[in-house]
Structure 1
Amino acid sequence: MFVGDDWAEDHHDVEVMDGSGRRLAKARLPEGVAGMARLHAMVGELVGDDADADEDVEVLVGIETDRGPWVAALVAAGYTVLAVNPLQAARFRDRLGVSGAKSDAGDAHVLADMVRTHGHELRPVAGDSAEVEAVKVVARTHKTLIWERTRHTQRLRHALRDYFPAALVAFEDLDAADTLELLAKAPTPAKAARLTIAQIGAALKRARRRDVAEKAELVQAELRAEHLGQPEVVTTAYAASVQALIAVLTVLNTQVKAMQGQVEAHFGRHPAAEIVLSQPGLGPILGARVLAEFGDDPDRYTTAKARKNYAGTSPITRASGRKKVALARFVHNDRLIDALTTQAFTALRHSPGARAYYDRQRARGSGHNAALRQLANRLVGILHGCLKTGTRYDEATAWSHHAENVAA
């Protein structure tokens, strides 16, 4: 029995289909316990009508998400839940009609038919543990806060460039605690020029800076240097905007630090943490992101290639006639590929094998990004082997095959 579930925030359009493509039932169900109970009742009634007493009926559900209480309830009920990429569903819908018409009920029909005809090619929702789900929640929140801090820092930089360019010369890190403290105290060029060495030095000390006296003099000199500016009324308006941005950045700094502690705590309790941390380039935060995005379902990735394909590090081959090219994957998990690329870059300093592998790619003509992506792809394979066998990373074992090829 095949179920298409087109979900929205407050309801689900559902269609149930049999193996021949015949519609058995359709309904709009409310989100929550009441809607789930109606779905169970609808499926149960159809199973009772169409199945023998001793026959097991598998219910496959196609839905364009792989998380949330509704999906968890479907899995807990024993349904086989297939996560359908919205891009896949849109292209499948185009195969069934060319008018461009679209509706929620129609999307439910498309999902049910897609599960019926292509269910063997769709990815089941992973059976991840509650522990790794918790790691994912805090790791994603932590990274989101960092991204938000970067966005607000760039907004602060643009504002200062427009009315207070001296601040950009005086302060290296705009989101640092001492910078935010001094800018909050003196958000205009005139006020900043009146800051004393003692005031600047006190802020630097609270931020635990080195060479406080020397840096305080340099900051004061830059703030008192001549720069182009804006009329007073415009400067006052910019100062108010900057103070608002400073307040947001101060809160973000506090919450990023708090969430970092949560990430480290949840990740440290996971059984696979020791293996993940043994990988080159992975610390508690980056390791938590990698583990969270891959999940810990032992049956999800049958081979290293499957894990690499999900990671988006393996290339896509396009071949036609005599022409064959290998391209980077455009569709991927942004959070995962960001973590893996960072791991690869960090591993260059900590793993001789990773460094040698990267250098060989560069020698073959690959650019920095391409070589880094190939290194990340190799590191994903190493991680897969370690997780499958339950062993820690070993430098000699991980790169022995490549060392033999170079020697040959």
Structure 2
Amino acid sequence: MSPSLPLVTTAERRHRLGRRHRLAPSAHASTVAEAADAVVALHATDAATLFLSARARLAEGGPEAVEQALYEDVSLVRLLSMRRTLFAVSCELAPYVDSSTARGIAVKERRNLLKHLDEDGQGLDAGWLAGAEAAALDALDAQGPCTGSQLSAAVPALRQKITVGRGKKYEAETGVATRVIRLLAADGRIRRDRPRGSWTSSQFRWVHTEPWPAVPAAEAHAEIARRWLRAYGPATESDLKWWTGWTLTEVRKALALVGPDQVRLEDDTTALVSPGDTVPEPVPEPWAALLPGLDPSGMGWADRSFHLDPAHRPALFDYAGNIGPTVWWNGEIVGGWAQRADGEIVWRLLADRGRAAEGAVAAEAARLARWVGEARITPRFRTPLERELVA
């Protein structure tokens, strides 16, 4: 490694995280789309995560501001994309996410469903699937936003049952409605609309929409890589591969088009930043944040050692590697939090960072409680510390 490479310290990486991820109060975003763009995409598998991740980055506005962006302005949309996971991205970025990642997933989803239909032996094929999809879209046009159950009631084909794994130990009969709806969503022909219930609900209604405009794949990959480096750099090729779910070849081609600069880190390894992005980040004011499980700031790198003490990982991650609700102080994960059944926000520090940190975390917990109001949040992926806090 060349000693002439610019040095980016751990402290500098944490400064970048606070400002670029819009977590320091002076860097808070004014719109939900701006909050999402700051981290490229907001994790959306768990409905509450999307709202709580946006909340932590917004200067003002309650859950209704996020609902406005998702369902009225439609400035933010959910796409099955990176790592075959549901993310919410700004409409400006959506065509690039679609072309770089979601299109490939949609092709695999269709191939897998057609394989299951063929194996079932009922004569269901691509023609049958096309008819079922067309009927579902016609029903949405006629009835407006519908849940999956309502669509199944309106479209007889969606009530079809098939047997998966016939003759094998895992043989099971399943309905096709969920799979057809998932395929239509992956193709960009329908999108999730306002759910039944509150903002914590995942029982979405669906609306007919137009697919995103095509972007050349190389251009789309490069745009995602460029934005990701700006948000998460210094980072490595391996980090980008993990975050996107792309092949190593796709990652390397995208980075070649971006032309990142190399920097050295405190552990004498090298990492990548956006071209010219080697100037020290202004130091933000002291800040605390309570981030939800799966938040991008906790899941943005394969190697999180610059902001997470490895000794704290067992308490804060589930068995599959999903991060739970975390407490942050100045760019470092220092504890975890949870909401009890009575609505109380409880938290525990795993590292002592002094009275100022403890006071700031308490104030942030109170702000979170006011924002959440009467809603109750149970993470989809539960971690040892979260379970312990609510026990």
Q: TM-score, normalised by structure 2?
A: 0.23
Higher strand share: 2
